[in-house]
Amino acid sequence: MPPTPALSGRPAVIFATVGPPSALRIRGEAPNIPVMKHHQYILTGASRGMGLGLAEQLLQAGNRLLCISRNANPDLAATAQKAGVPLTQWTHDLADGVGASERLKAWLQTLNPGELASISLINNAGTIPPILPLGQSHPADLAQALRVGLEAPMALCAAFLGATASWTLPRKVLNISSGLGRYPMASQAGYCAAKAGMDHFTRCMALDEALQTHGAKVCSLAPGVIDTDMQVQMRGAAGEAFPDQSKFLQLKAQGQLSSPAQAAAQVLGYLARPDFGDKPVADVRD
C-alpha cells in the first residue's frame, strides 16, 4: 500500500494498514463511518536499551507511536510497518529541551482528541556523565546530563499538559526515574541530581493535575536494575574513581539484571495499572 497522504496540512506518516479496505477511513470522505479511536504514545529515548524495548512493545494494534531520539531506528520502522502500526520518529537531541517541547506542542495541536482513546507521554531519555567525583567533573558534562535528564522531561511535560489541558480523555505522564534519584552514590552527582529532580517535579506536577477536573495521571517510576549501556559504563569505570563499582560487577555476575525487554514489559504493565498515578513517585516492583 502506498504511503497515506498528508491531510489538512499534517505531515504524512508512512505505515502499513492491516484489515479489509472497508475498515479504512480518511477524514471527510466517509462521514457516516464511526472513527476507530486509538491510543497515542509519545516516547523519548527510543532508539536503544529499554527505550527500544518500550517502543517495540507499544507497536500493537490500536496504538500510534511518536518517538523522539537522537537517531531514528530503521529496524523499529520495519517492525511498525509489518505490524501495521503508525510510527513517527523524530530525530532531535534532547539537550535542546526547549526546541523539542515547542515541536511537541505544535504537533499536539494538530491532533483531534475525538479520535483518541487515550494519550501518554513517556520520558525515558537520559544520560550519565563520566563517572567521577564532583570535584573532578567537567561542568559541560554535568550540564549535558541535567539538560537531557531533567530540563527536557520537564519542558516536554509542560508542553504536553498545556496543549492537552482541555481534553477530557485519559492522559498519562510516565517519567522513567532511577533508584539513584532516591539514594546517593559517590561519583554519580550529575545523574543522581537529574533523577532526584525528576522525582520532585513529578510530585509538584501531580499536585497541579489533582486540581484539574480532568487532570492527567502522572508518575516518576524507577524501573529496576537493567542490563543497559549505563550498566556497562558503571562496570567499566575506574575503581579508584567509583567506589561502588564492585556492586555493579556483582549484579552482572549474579544474574540480577533485567533485560531491556523484561524491564519494558514491567514498565508498561505498571502504566496500564488502574492505580497508575496514585503514587507520584514509585518503583516498578511496588
The per-residue pLDDT for 256 is 64
Q: Which domains does the chain have, with CATH numbers?
A: 37-226+260-283 (3.40.50.720)
Give residue 224's pLDDT: 84
Of 33-42, 113-122, 270-279, the poorest mean pLDDT is in 33-42
Contact 142, 129 (CB under 8 A): yes
The 3-state secondary structure of the chain, one letter per residue: CCCCCCCCCCCCCCCCCCCCHHHCCCCCCCCCCCCCCEEEEEEECCCCHHHHHHHHHHCCCCEEEEEEECCCCHHHHHHHHHHCCCEEEEECCCCCHHHHHHHHHHHHCCCCHHHEEEEEEEECCCCCCCCCCHHHCCHHHHHHHHHHHHHHHHHHHHHHHHHCCCCCCCEEEEEECCHHHCCCCCCCHHHHHHHHHHHHHHHHHHHHHHCCCCCCEEEEEECCCECCHHHHHHHCCCCCCCCCHHHHHHHHHCCCCECHHHHHHHHHHHHCCCCCCCCCEEECCC
Structure confidence by residue, pLDDT tens digits, 9-21: 333 333 333 333 3
List b or e across 93-121, with b for residues whose CB sees 16 or more CB atoms inside 10 angstroms: bbbbbeebbebbbebbeebeeeebeebbb
Span 130-143, average pLDDT? 95
The model's pLDDT over 10-58, given as tens digits with 9 standing for 90+, comes to 333 333 333 333 333 334 444 566 678 999 999 999 999 999 999 999 9
Share of the chain above pLDDT 70, in %: 79
pLDDT in tens, 252-269: 677 767 788 999 999 999
pTM assigned to the model: 0.84
Mean per-residue pLDDT, 187-195: 95
Residue 184 confidence (pLDDT) above 60: yes
Examine the pLDDT at 235 and tell me if it is beyond 90.
Answer: no
> Which range among 61-75, 101-115, 234-248 shows the weakest confidence by mean pLDDT?
234-248
pLDDT at 229 over 70: no
Top pLDDT among 109 and 255 is at 109
| pLDDT score at 18 | 33
> 60: which 3 cell numbers?
500493537
What are the backbone dihedrals phi and psi of residue 141, each rounded to the nearest 5 degrees, phi first? -65, -40
pLDDT of 177 > 80? The answer is yes
